[in-house]
Each structure stands twice: as structure tokens, then as C-alpha cells.
Structure 1
Amino acid sequence: MVGAGARVIVVMPDGQELRAFLYERRRTSARWEYRVGVTVWGTGSGSRPEPVEHSVWLGADHVRPLEGGDYSRVPTQPASPPAAFAGGQQAWTVQQLPHRPGHPGATLIHVIGCQPGATPLDLDQTLEALKQPRAVTCRECNAASSLP
């Protein structure tokens, strides 16, 4: 591995898959975006082909980890502060993680926008959800920092 980051597969518009390096990721209000570097052929000195890296931000639908890939060392920009919903108050969402063999179910609290399409909760509803067993805040959107 080269520095902090991870090897990934980039899916091109024609379906072709290329190996790339994931340098960083960020959460926008609508989706995850990934800055990847893809090595391609370019024109070097004397018009000779040489490898050059092209770096670009891509949506999650165009990037996937190599098998066994780990994003834990990838620099991650947290989501923006929670958006407001009706009444101008901050909002959060709750995700129920199902029980599976060897892993009990859990409740995950997100800043609104981290899980698109989820129903917003107000502060009282969010704090009540956090009182449930195995309830935690999402590390990706840094939901804990948005709560009093």
C-alpha cells in the first residue's frame, strides 16, 4: 500500500474495471465521494508514452474496494453539520442494523443526509433512540458531535 489510503476498483462508464488508489473520501449531503488516482498512459518527453496518474473525485457507484480492502486508513472528511428540517431545527436519522449470526442487532444514529431517504427525527426522538440497548452514533458522519 502506498501511504494512507487503499487500493480500489474504479468502474468506468463503459463497465471496464481499473485498479486505482483511494486517497481520501468525503461525505456530502447526498452521497459519499472518493478521490482516486488511476494510472494511465500519457505522452512523456520525446513523445514517448509513460505512465501518469489522473486524480478525480467519483461517487460511490463508481468505486469499490478490492476484496479484503480496508478503508480504515483512508483520510475521511466528515459530513457537514446536520441539515435543518421543519422548524429550522437540526435533525438526525436512525438505522436499525439487523441481527445476523455472531452479531447482535444494533441501532445507529446518523446526521440527516448520511442515510438518504430516512425519516428525520428531532432531538428528543434521537436522544430517546440512543437510550436503547446497542445504540451508537455513526462515526462516518460524526453524529455524536452534533448532539448536546
Structure 2
Amino acid sequence: MSDPARQPPRVWLTLPDGQEVRARLHAKRWTPSGWRYRVGLPVWSVTAAQDVEPVEYTVYVPAGDDQYVRPVEGVDYSAVPIEERPPSHPYLAPPPPGADMHWAWTIEQARVGGPGSRPSGIIVHEHGCKLAPAGGAELTLDDALNAYRRPGTKACQDCAAAEVLSRL
């Protein structure tokens, strides 16, 4: 038998028919629809030799308002691993269902030696970035990606541009 101190912590799991059973909380995961808990349920399984053996069935259930998973009093959950975290910037998160959202970008003509000097490349900014030139044209994501692919183009490190465009 495995060491109980190394097993995932126990939780109360509410089944679809309303029964509450003890389960084990294996991990948390971020999905486009929110956090999910990966819980393991002890069940009996029939082997190929027609014997019965205990196994654990794991499933992801929505996290949140204790509708599905509730903590067991006195149990420490601080060591539960997070399999996937939410995006680090709102641009990397999927938009909420039905939202009419778009990414907006602008470019800056970088110059060696400041204004009036020769161009040295392009910097792509999130539209509205404090470092972007005032009154810059609003670009679509495709326009921003096309600009970003050009040699010598950089993405602003102050706004979301570097993180978002490098991933895309």
C-alpha cells in the first residue's frame, strides 16, 4: 500500500445524483471555461481474468462554488499541483462567450539617435501602450503579425506585445 502522507488530499465530491463521496484531489487546471479540479474516485473494476480489483477513476469537474467539490475540514491543500495556469495577460485568454473583442496594435518607427535620425526598425505595441506614439493607427492582429515578422522588428516589452506576438 502506498504511503498515505504522499497521496493526494481527500475532498468531498458531489455526484450527479446528489450523493456525496470521498475522492482525492490530484490537480487544478485552467481551461477556457474556468478552473477545473482533477479528482480521483475509488471504484471496482473487472479484470480480463474476471477478477475484481480496486482502481481509481479520474475526472475533471468544475471548481468554484462547492457545487461539485468541497474541502474536508482540517486537510491541507497547499501541495496540490497546478497542471495549467491561466494566461498571464488578458490577450492570451479566450474571450468570454458572445463577446465582441478584438486585438488592437500600433507600430512605432524606431530611430537611431532619436527624432529626425535614420530609421532603425519597427516596434509593435499594444494599441494604447504608454510607449506607443500618440495617434498611431489601430492595426489588426494580422497586420501586427505581418509587421512583427519583418527583419529588425521588435515587440514592446512594456505592454503585452512581446508575450502575445511571440506566442502567435
What TM-score, normalized by structure 1, do the two folds share? 0.52
| SS of equivalent to 2:49 | helix
Choose the corresponding residue for 1:67, options 60, 63, 73. Answer: 73
CA spacing shift, 1:123–1:11, aligned 2, 3 Å: farther
* CA–CA separation in structure 1 for the residues paired with 2:45 and 2:85: 34
Does the CA contact (< 8 Å) of 1:35 and 1:55 recur in 2? yes
The equivalences for 1:1-148 within 5 A come to: 1=4, 3=6, 5-60=8-63, 61-76=67-82, 77-84=84-91, 88=103
* CA–CA separation in structure 2 for the residues paired with 1:23 and 1:15: 22
Amino acid at match of 1:81: S
- Please identify which structure carries the higher strand content: 1
Q: Percent of counterpart pairs with the same letter?
A: 38
5+ long unaligned stretches in structure 2: 96-100, 105-127, 131-159, 161-168
Amino acid at match of 2:11: V
* CA–CA separation in structure 2 for the residues paired with 1:123 and 1:29: 26
* CA–CA separation in structure 2 for the residues paired with 1:32 and 1:15: 21
Q: CA deviation at 1:74?
A: 0.2
* CA–CA separation in structure 2 for the residues paired with 1:14 and 1:78: 31
What TM-score, normalized by structure 2, do the two folds share? 0.46
Partner of 1:106: none
* CA–CA separation in structure 1 for the residues paired with 2:18 and 2:74: 22
Does the CA contact (< 8 Å) of 1:5 and 1:75 recur in 2? no
What value does the CA root-mean-square deviation take over the aligned residues?
A: 3.0
- What number of residue pairs does the alignment pair up? 94
Partner of 1:115: none
Does the CA contact (< 8 Å) of 1:22 and 1:34 recur in 2? yes
Q: Which one has more relative contact order, counting CA pairs under 8 Å at least 6 apart?
A: 1
| SS of equivalent to 1:73 | coil
Over 4 Å off, 4+ runs: none
| SS of equivalent to 1:47 | coil
Q: CA deviation at 1:46?
A: 3.2
Q: CA deviation at 1:35?
A: 0.8
* CA–CA separation in structure 2 for the residues paired with 1:37 and 1:54: 5
Q: Which has the larger radius of gyration?
A: 2
